[in-house]
Amino acid sequence: MKIMITQLLYDALNQAIDFTTIESLLEKPKHEELGDIAFPCFMLAKILRQAPAQIAAELAEKLHDERIRQVVATGPYINFFLEPLPIANAIIPAIVTQQAMYATQQQNGKKIVVDYSSPNIAKPFSMGHLRSTVIGQAIANIAEKMGYEAVRINHLGDWGTQFGKLIVAYKLWGDAEAIRKHPIQELLKIYVQFHEEAEKDAALDDQARQAFKALEEGDAAALALWKEFREASLVEFNEIYELLGVHFDSYNGEAFYNDKMARVVHELETKKLLTASEGAQVVDLGEELPPCLIKKKDGATLYATRDLAAAFYRLDTYQPEKLFYVVGGEQTLHFKQWFYVIDKLGYDASKFTHIPFGMMLKDGKKMSTRKGKIVLLSDVLSDTMEAAKQTILEKNPNLSAIDEVAKQVGIGAVIFNDLKNDRQNDIEFSIEQMVTFEGETGPYVQYTNARIHTLLEKAQFDATTAPLQSLDDALWPTIKVLEAFPATIERAYAQADPSQIAKFSLQLSRTVNKFYGQQKVLTNDNAQHDRLTVLYTASIILEECLNLLGIEAPQHM
């Protein structure tokens, strides 16, 4: 619709301003009675040397198209009232025939790398890990919708000083038999104990650093413990990923790059970028940023060293168009530093993007593994699935496959609750808010879609691509939302913001549910099939939205 109106204005103005500028100025009026799309004429005042209101009045007389019902000049604005039926017949056949291919932008299979989830080995998968996991999964899905090939990487936190701490804790307080039975829970317990004791005895931190140094140097006993911790963690992590429907192309974590860091140091030395600072090796980043630490005084490597090694490996292996790092906002400085190093080394730093996000809060405070203040994601998923089951038993006890639907709804509720929020906002954890079937929730969108399927089955609807013969006025808001789907996909990708898709799905659900309140659907007249065609089209797009967010769409609830 915007492109059509932009073209009309562009022609009527004799190309006085460029096409892209006109399109960017188009806006949605604050009130429906003011039209479907508005164009402000303020910018034209200087160009045409006329008052904006006069420009609007004269332009309105020149703008005619069969897809426009009326053009009205209101002060300095031109308000366009569109003709619903031809607009609907331009949109709906494309969605019905193309289905999942609708709105896909062809990028010729160019690759993008998405680094997400990346939990620390030997620690439980908590609600704090949820955000990176579901945001990254959704961004990869959206990229694929845009026509890219997404390479999904789980850069496991399987190296670093924390393993020195865990090895020391294991030797001091570990119960081998208990750890074999319940590895993650027991490892968390001794990890928390280490930090409690280290507050009273600073020597423990020194022992941890020494233990990690031994691990880096290939100490057999330390490596054996590390492998045991890693394998036990992956078993538990994969159970969570299976529930969430999350998958990866690579689980290469920090340890994978141990033998690849020499290249980083060599390139930095060759290009004379490494300098000594208090015994450590750093890259000076000027006045704007602190130096980027490459090697500690004792020779141990740091996160930046491994991230640089991983960047080189990914550039060589995948030759990607872009590399996205879905990591919490508290790591922003770290990414700025090593992206700057990438640039100083002569690589294209514009390929690299940090996708920050806010924190998951409990009672207004950040969840902390060190202090043992965490909420396990597995517990939350169990609770939301059970809550969904109880709601289904109350409202539709005769539903078949109740457990499967409860799983789809419960897990979808957790994912949607995260992704509906602007990415950089903090989120307060609340199961009650997640699982309600009303308001801005995943179950609300899923139920809207399931309700459409119930109507389609009751009417024995058979989809066709024949043009609509009529369109209820109450369905026009739904058509306008459907028309915005391709632009929403592009915006979500450009801003790396899955909330654009979640908010779109809520808006579409609201227009559909409002229609039910204004117009009976099953009327056994000629208009019934047209009504159902619009609702069927809405269902296709709702399911596509849920799919992009990593949420299943049960057809009955």
| Tens-digit pLDDT profile for residues 485-525 | 999 999 999 999 999 999 999 999 999 999 999 989 999 88
Which ranges of 29-108 would DSSP assign to H, the alpha helix?
Answer: 44-48, 52-62, 84-98
The pLDDT value given to residue 135: 98
Which residues lie across from 281 on neighbouring strands?
Answer: 276, 295
Judgement on whether residues 468 and 528 belong to the same structural domain of the protein = yes
Domain stop point among 30, 65, 82:
82
Judgement on whether residues 42 and 181 belong to the same structural domain of the protein = no
Judgement on whether residues 33 and 126 belong to the same structural domain of the protein = no
Residues 200 and 191: their CA atoms lie apart, in Å, by: 15
Domain stop point among 309, 343, 366:
366
pLDDT at 362 over 60: yes
* Distance set, CA 19 to CA 4, 35, 59 (Å): 11, 22, 16
The pLDDT value given to residue 303: 86
CATH number of the domain that 148 lies in? Answer: 3.40.50.620
Residues 522 and 447: their CA atoms lie apart, in Å, by: 19
Range in 35-44, 328-337, 366-375 the model is least confident about: 366-375
The residue with greater pLDDT, 137 or 370, is 137
| Tens-digit pLDDT profile for residues 443-468 | 999 999 999 999 999 999 999 888 99
Domain stop point among 307, 341, 366:
366
Judgement on whether residues 76 and 27 belong to the same structural domain of the protein = yes
Judgement on whether residues 53 and 181 belong to the same structural domain of the protein = no
The pLDDT value given to residue 373: 60
pLDDT at 368 over 60: no
Which ranges of 102-175 would DSSP assign to H, the alpha helix?
Answer: 130-145, 161-173
The pLDDT value given to residue 279: 85
Residues 498 and 485: their CA atoms lie apart, in Å, by: 13
Instruction: Tell me, yes or no, whether 282 lies in a domain.
Output: no
Instruction: Tell me, yes or no, whether 427 lies in a domain.
Output: yes
Residues 514 and 298: their CA atoms lie apart, in Å, by: 66
Instruction: Tell me, yes or no, whether 397 lies in a domain.
Output: yes
Residues 514 and 238: their CA atoms lie apart, in Å, by: 41
| Tens-digit pLDDT profile for residues 213-223 | 899 888 999 99
* Distance set, CA 387 to CA 415, 431, 443 (Å): 15, 9, 12
The pLDDT value given to residue 542: 98
Judgement on whether residues 11 and 137 belong to the same structural domain of the protein = no
Q: What is the DSSP letter of 26?
A: -
Place of tokens 């426009």: 68
Most confident of 11-25, 129-143, 460-474: 129-143
Report the largest interatomic distance among the alpha carbons of the chain, rounded to a whole angstrom.
Answer: 85
pLDDT at 305 over 90: yes
The pLDDT value given to residue 363: 67
What is the token pair recorded at 57? 């009045």
Domain of residue 22 covers: 2-82
Instruction: Tell me, yes or no, whether 263 lies in a domain.
Output: no
Residues 292 and 336: their CA atoms lie apart, in Å, by: 10
Helix-helix angle 84-98:476-483, to 10 degrees: 50
Q: Do residues 247 and 154 lie in contact, with contact meaning Cβ atoms separated by under 8 Å?
A: no
Nearby residues of 480 by Cβ (< 8 Å), 6 or more positions away: 1, 36
3-state secondary structure 224-258: HHHHHHHHHHHHHHHHHHHHHCCCCCECCCHHHHH
What is the DSSP pairing of strand 427-428 with strand 360-362? parallel
Judgement on whether residues 251 and 330 belong to the same structural domain of the protein = yes
CATH number of the domain that 520 lies in? Answer: 1.10.730.10
CATH number of the domain that 63 lies in? Answer: 3.30.1360.70
Q: Do residues 466 and 89 lie in contact, with contact meaning Cβ atoms separated by under 8 Å?
A: no
Judgement on whether residues 323 and 444 belong to the same structural domain of the protein = no
Q: Do residues 120 and 157 lie in contact, with contact meaning Cβ atoms separated by under 8 Å?
A: yes
Instruction: Tell me, yes or no, whether 268 lies in a domain.
Output: no
| Tens-digit pLDDT profile for residues 103-129 | 887 777 899 999 999 998 888 888 889
Q: Do residues 508 and 545 lie in contact, with contact meaning Cβ atoms separated by under 8 Å?
A: yes
pLDDT band at 428 (very low <50, low <70, confident <90, very high): confident
Instruction: Tell me, yes or no, whether 290 lies in a domain.
Output: no
Q: What is the pTM of this model?
A: 0.90
* Strands ordered across the beta sheet of 292-295: 274-277, 280-283, 292-295
Give the H/E segment covering residue 353: strand 352-355
Residues 273 and 342: their CA atoms lie apart, in Å, by: 11
Give the H/E segment covering residue 276: strand 274-277
pLDDT band at 300 (very low <50, low <70, confident <90, very high): low
Residues 86 and 469: their CA atoms lie apart, in Å, by: 10
pLDDT band at 99 (very low <50, low <70, confident <90, very high): confident
Residues 141 and 143: their CA atoms lie apart, in Å, by: 5
pLDDT band at 301 (very low <50, low <70, confident <90, very high): low
The pLDDT value given to residue 381: 94
The pLDDT value given to residue 113: 98
Judgement on whether residues 360 and 391 belong to the same structural domain of the protein = no
Mean pLDDT, residues 81-107 = 90
pLDDT at 170 over 90: yes
Q: How many residues does the chain have?
A: 557
Judgement on whether residues 155 and 191 belong to the same structural domain of the protein = yes
Helix-helix angle 402-419:220-244, to 10 degrees: 110
CB atoms within 10 A of CB 432: 7
Q: Do residues 133 and 415 lie in contact, with contact meaning Cβ atoms separated by under 8 Å?
A: no
Query: Average model confidence (pLDDT) for the chain?
Result: 92
pLDDT at 143 over 70: yes
DSSP-derived 3-state class of residue 27: strand
* Number of domains observed in the structure of the chain: 3
Instruction: Tell me, yes or no, whether 102 lies in a domain.
Output: no
Judgement on whether residues 253 and 172 belong to the same structural domain of the protein = yes
Judgement on whether residues 152 and 248 belong to the same structural domain of the protein = yes
Instruction: Tell me, yes or no, whether 139 lies in a domain.
Output: yes
